[in-house]
Homo-oligomer: A and B are copies of this chain.
């Protein structure tokens, strides 16, 4: 897919996943999104890690590092502040999707 379209949605995707999962690490997020979208959204590390760091710097995410054997994983979870912003971000996204549907008159998926 043309990944240019994807621009601007990454933060909201991360926040959405973390609102449904207690804690996730970066690589897990990329795999989960790939799986959910049937291979359509492929998040690159160059986009993901800076995004996670930005969200952390904004105070929306906290981290916890865990050692698995000789390696480490950095788990991210929503802060209280992050939790509070979830509903706004999701309704902005819902509006955005609806706007795109209005412009492009796509057939919605069956729910």
Binding site for B on A (CB under 8 A): 1-2, 4-9, 11-13, 16, 33, 36-38, 40-41, 89-90, 92-109, 111
How many identical subunits does the complex contain?
Answer: 2
Q: Which residue of B lies closest to A92 (CB)?
A: B2
Among B7, B33, B98, B105, point to the contact of A8 (Cβ < 8 A): B7
Q: Is the CB of A102 within 8 A of B9?
A: no
> Please, which residues of chain B bring their CB within 8 A of the CB of A16?
103-104
Interface contact B96-A6, CB-CB below 8 Å = yes
**A102 to B41 CA separation, bound complex (whole angstroms):** 10
- Interfacial chain B residues near A96, Cβ < 8 Å: 1-2, 5-6, 40, 100
